[in-house]
Amino acid sequence: MRIVLLAASAALIASSAAQAADLPATARSLSEKALSDSTAWDLTESLTTEVGARPQGSAGMERARDWGVAKLKALGFENVHVETFETESWLRGAESAEVVSPYPQKLQILGLGRSAPTPAGGIEAEIALFDSLDAMLAQPEGALKGKIVVVTQKMRRTQDISGYASGVQARSAGAEAAKRGAVAYLVRSISTDDTRLPHGGGGAMAGIPMAALSPPDAELLERMVVRGKPVKIKLSMASTFRAKAPAYNVVGEIKGREKPDEVIVIGGHLDSWDAGTGAIDDASGIGITTAAAKLIAGLPERPRRTIRVVMWGAEEQGGSGAAYAEAHKDEVGKIIVAGESDLGAGQIFAARLPAGSHDHPAMKAFEAAMAPLKTIVSGAPAEEGGADVEGLKRLGTPVVELQQDASRYFDLHHSADDTLDKVDPKELAQNVAVWTAFVYAVADSDIDFRTTAAAQAQ
C-alpha cells in the first residue's frame, strides 16, 4: 500500500510539475495574444451600435438578448441558451424640470429607477436644499412637508470604487426625504464630471418622484438658494413600473475536456440604463469576458474545466444575479470561481484572488503573466465579484475581483455620455489579457479555491 501510495504521490507530483511548466507559458502567450485581439472591441462596438440602450423590460433588452444568443453561437460557444426569469422594470417617460421663480430657468434632470411619476400636470413646490445627505437626514420627520428636497453633495474621484461607494447612498435617500414630508426628491448626480448631463441609476422605492440633477444644475440651485428668496421648481415626470417583467440571462459555454462539470462562471451584464448606449456599463464587460473565453477556446486543446460566459440581464434594476443563483443552486459546489467585469473599460490595476490561493501554482502562473500588463496581484483577497455573482457568493462560490481603474468611469456612468467613443481599445484589450490569463489558469488546473480558503482559515 505504501508503494502504491508513493507511486500515486509521484504521479501527482509529475502531473503538478507538468501543469506548472505548461500553465505559465500558456497563460503568458494567451495574454499576449489578447493584447492584439479585437473580439472584445468588436462585441462592444456591435452591441452599442446595433442595439444601444437596453433597460430591463424594454424592446431594446429583447434585441440585446437575441444579439447575445447570435454572437455566442457565431463565436462557437456551446450550450448557448437563455435563462428566463422575472424582475422589476422601470421605464422612463417624458421628463422636465424648471425653476419657475424667482429666476426662471430650465433644469437638466434624469429620473431615477423606481421613481414615482408626477401627476399629469406636474408638481410645483418650493425646494429645501441640503449640501450633504447628513444635513437632510438630520431633519426630523415631517420637517420637509410639501417641499421638493434637493441634496447637492459631491462625489469624490477615486481610482477604485470607494468614491462611488461613499456617495451613492444619496441616490437612494428618496424614502428618507419622503419620510420627512418631501413631495419629490432631487439629488446631484453621483458623478465626477462637470457636464450638463445628469447621471441616473436606481433609487429606492419611495412613492415620490425622484431624479438626478446634472452637476451644473445642482450648483445653479445652490447659487439661487443663497440669494435668500424661496426657489420654486416645477417637475414633470412620467414612467411605467412593473414589479415583474420577463428578463433574460444569456449563456454560452466552452466545455472542459476532462471535467466538464467543473465550471468557471464569468460575464458582464447585458442590460443598461437608457440615457447612453451602455458602452462602459456594460457592453465592455460583455466584450472582455466573452473575448477571454473565446481566446482560450482557440487553444490546440480545450482546458480541463468548462468556461461559462453569462450575459446577465438585469443588473441595473436588479434580479439577474439572484435569479442565476436560484437556478444554479444545485450546481454551486461545482462552480470553481465566479467573477463579473462591470466597472467599465479602464485598465485592470490589481487582481484580488480568492483567499489563500496566492501560492498555488495556478495562481503563480497567472501572476507571472501580469507584469507586462501592469497588474499587481493584491495582498488583499477578493471581496466583491460583481453584483451578478453576489448570489452565487452567498451560496459559497469563491469569487475573483479584477479591479479596473475607475478614475474616469464616473464621468460617464449612467449618463447619456456612456458611448463607444469613451472606450479605449488598448485598455479594453488589457482587460481581456488579464481575464484570459486568470480564467485559463483556473480552467486548465486543479486549483480548488474552497480548499485554499479553508487552509488559510485554519
Total residues binding a copy of itself (CB under 8 A): 35
By CB under 8 A, residue 426 contacts a copy of itself: no
Q: Give the residue with the Cβ less far from a copy of itself, 90 or 440.
A: 90
Contact in structure between 83 and 248 (CB atoms under 8 Å): yes
By CB under 8 A, residue 103 contacts a copy of itself: yes
Could you give the strand order of the β-sheet that contains 348-352, starting from the edge strand earlier in sequence?
A: 376-377, 348-352, 401-404
By CB under 8 A, residue 354 contacts a copy of itself: no
Q: Give the residue with the Cβ less far from a copy of itself, 78 or 219.
A: 219
Contact in structure between 270 and 286 (CB atoms under 8 Å): yes
Question: Smallest distance, Å, CB 421 to a copy of itself?
Answer: 5
By CB under 8 A, residue 346 contacts a copy of itself: no
The single residue among 422, 428, 439, 446 that binds a copy of itself, judged by CB under 8 A, is: 422
Helices (H) and strands (E) in the chain, counts: 14, 14
Q: How far from 302 is each of 298, 338, 394, 429, 444, CA to CA, in Å?
A: 8, 19, 30, 22, 8
Q: For the chain, give percent helix, strand, coil, nearest 5.
A: 40, 25, 35
3-state secondary structure of 187: strand
By CB under 8 A, residue 292 contacts a copy of itself: no
Q: How far from 38 is each of 237, 419, 431, CA to CA, in Å?
A: 41, 18, 12
Confirm whether 262 is a catalytic residue.
no
Q: Is the dihedral of CA 324, 328, 332, 336 positive or negative?
A: negative
By CB under 8 A, residue 104 contacts a copy of itself: yes
Q: Give the residue with the Cβ less far from a copy of itself, 49 or 132.
A: 49
By CB under 8 A, residue 105 contacts a copy of itself: yes
Question: Smallest distance, Å, CB 152 to a copy of itself?
Answer: 13
Q: Give the residue with the Cβ less far from a copy of itself, 269 or 408.
A: 408
CA max distance for the chain: 92
By CB under 8 A, residue 240 contacts a copy of itself: no
Binding mask 192-231 for a copy of itself (x = CB under 8 A): --xxxx-----------------xx--xx--xx--x----
Q: How far is residue 377's CA from residue 364's CA, in Å, rounded to a whole number?
A: 10
Q: Give the residue with the Cβ less far from a copy of itself, 193 or 253.
A: 193
Q: What DSSP letter does each residue of 73-116 carry, written as one string?
A: HHTT-EEEEEEEEEEEEEEEEEEEEEEEESS-EEE-EEEPBTPP
Going through 227-323 in order, the beta strands assigned E by DSSP cover 232-254, 259-269, 305-312
Question: Smallest distance, Å, CB 348 to a copy of itself?
Answer: 23
By CB under 8 A, residue 108 contacts a copy of itself: yes
Q: Which of 139, 274, 202 is nearest to 187 (CA)?
A: 202
Please state, as a whole number, how many other Cβ atoms lie within 10 Å of the Cβ of residue 261.
11
Q: How far from 181 is each of 134, 139, 215, 298, CA to CA, in Å?
A: 16, 10, 25, 60
Catalytic: which of 88, 95, 262, 315? 315
Question: Smallest distance, Å, CB 298 to a copy of itself?
Answer: 26
The single residue among 80, 416, 429, 433 that binds a copy of itself, judged by CB under 8 A, is: 416
Give the contacts of 35 (CB within 8 A, at least 6 positions apart).
429, 430, 432, 433
Stretch that binds a copy of itself, among 31-39, 236-244, 293-301, 411-419 (CB under 8 A): 411-419
Q: Is the dihedral of CA 125, 128, 134, 140 positive or negative?
A: negative
Q: Give the residue with the Cβ less far from a copy of itself, 177 or 233.
A: 233
Identity of residue 249: N
By CB under 8 A, residue 139 contacts a copy of itself: no
By CB under 8 A, residue 415 contacts a copy of itself: yes
Q: In the numeric block, which cell numbers belong to residue 126?
A: 418650493
Q: Give the residue with the Cβ less far from a copy of itself, 69 or 224.
A: 224
Q: Give the residue with the Cβ less far from a copy of itself, 51 or 399.
A: 51
Q: Which of residues 38-97 bind a copy of itself (CB under 8 A)?
A: 45, 48-53, 59-60, 63
CA dihedral 290, 293, 294, 299 (to 10 degrees): 170
Stretch that binds a copy of itself, among 98-106, 127-135, 203-211, 281-289 (CB under 8 A): 98-106
Binding mask 250-289 for a copy of itself (x = CB under 8 A): --------------------------xx------------
Question: Using CB under 8 A as the criterion, which residues of the chain lie in contact with a copy of itself when the complex forms?
Answer: 45, 48-53, 59-60, 63, 103-106, 108, 194-197, 215-216, 219-220, 223-224, 227, 276-277, 415-417, 419-422
What are the residue numbers of the active site? Answer: 315
